[in-house]
Amino acid sequence: MEKNSKLSIITKGFFKENPVFVLVLGTCPTLATTTGVIGAVSMGLAATAVLICSNLVISLLRKLIPDKVRIPCYIVIIAGFVTIVQMLMHAFLPDLYELLGVYLALITVNCIILGRAEMFASKNSPVDSMLDGLGMGIGFTIALFLMATIREVFGAGAFAGIEIPFLKDHTISFLVQSPGGFLVFGLLIAIVTLIMNAQGKKAPELGCAGCPAAAVCNAASGKCPEKEEKKGEAENA
């Protein structure tokens, strides 16, 4: 039973609560780094490493971090791990470091990482938090890989930089540009939603608590702006 629940913590990020296609977090790096498979998978793995480490540390410190300064504390911890990953990649994987460019540093403000810190690591045990980080990281990497495969294969006629006969002469270059990214992103979300509907599953309703900005808006005081707005509308009606 325990084993099953640990496994479900990891696997929920793959599909049921996929951070990109279901929770719709981390959209910026998803669109920006999916023009090529190598860049996308590298970004996914770098974010996974940061997710696991930051979830572990935040979970270990969850009883020591005061509620009022938890967001600055989380940001310092996440930024620290991102900088460490950045330094290690710069030193030992310079080609990947150059490929990811500015997006590597931007992992600090990736909503998935802050979102999981706030939603999961701050409330669960270190082991569970690490498993959540691993599952969400793998889910993020799978999503980036899928998007990058479609965009690179049909947009550039190649896979991981290796040219594909026939397709390389019949590319849809629109797919590797920004609008193409949005199109593929939207289509994949639609497909995932269709599959979930067919299986009778509903996407988790996370509401304000699921928003990485929850701590800095009214949700922190127990007043969800979304709910307040609906309440106001109902009263007016």
100: tokens are 């990811």
> 98 or 226, CB closer to another protein?
98
User: How many whole angstroms separate alpha carbon 199 and alpha carbon 193?
Assistant: 10
Phi, psi of 159 (to 5 degrees): -130, 120
* Residue 88 in the binding site for another protein (CB under 8 A): yes
Of the listed pieces 87-95, 140-148, 168-176, 190-198, which binds another protein according to CB under 8 A? 87-95
> 68 or 170, CB closer to another protein?
68
Angle at 195 between CA 29 and CA 212, to 5 degrees: 35
Return the exposure string of 99-109: e unless at least 16 CB atoms fall within 10 Å of the residue's CB, then b.
bbeebbebbbb
Binding pattern for the stretch 143-182 against another protein, x by CB under 8 A and - elsewhere: ----------------------------------------
Judged by CB under 8 A, the residue of 20, 22, 32, 134 near another protein is 32
User: How many whole angstroms separate alpha carbon 173 and alpha carbon 105?
Assistant: 28
Residues facing residue 159 across a β-bridge: 162
Cα 92 off chain centre by: 25
CB 31 within 8 A of CB 117: no
> 9 or 43, CB closer to another protein?
43
* Residue 215 in the binding site for another protein (CB under 8 A): no
161: tokens are 């930089």
Smallest gap from residue 74 Cβ to another protein (A) = 9
* Residue 101 in the binding site for another protein (CB under 8 A): yes
> 66 or 222, CB closer to another protein?
66
User: How many whole angstroms separate alpha carbon 204 and alpha carbon 22?
Assistant: 8
Judged by CB under 8 A, the residue of 7, 84, 194, 195 near another protein is 84
Chain positions 53 to 72 lying near another protein, rule: CB under 8 A, are: 61, 64-66, 68-69, 72
Residue 113: closest CA among 138, 80, 87, 136: 136
User: How many whole angstroms separate alpha carbon 190 and alpha carbon 118?
Assistant: 27
Judged by CB under 8 A, the residue of 24, 60, 73, 206 near another protein is 73
* Residue 79 in the binding site for another protein (CB under 8 A): yes
Of the listed pieces 83-91, 123-131, 181-189, 201-209, which binds another protein according to CB under 8 A? 83-91
Q: Which residues lie near another protein (CB under 8 A)? A: 32, 61, 64-66, 68-69, 72-73, 76-77, 79-80, 83-84, 87-88, 90-92, 94, 101-102
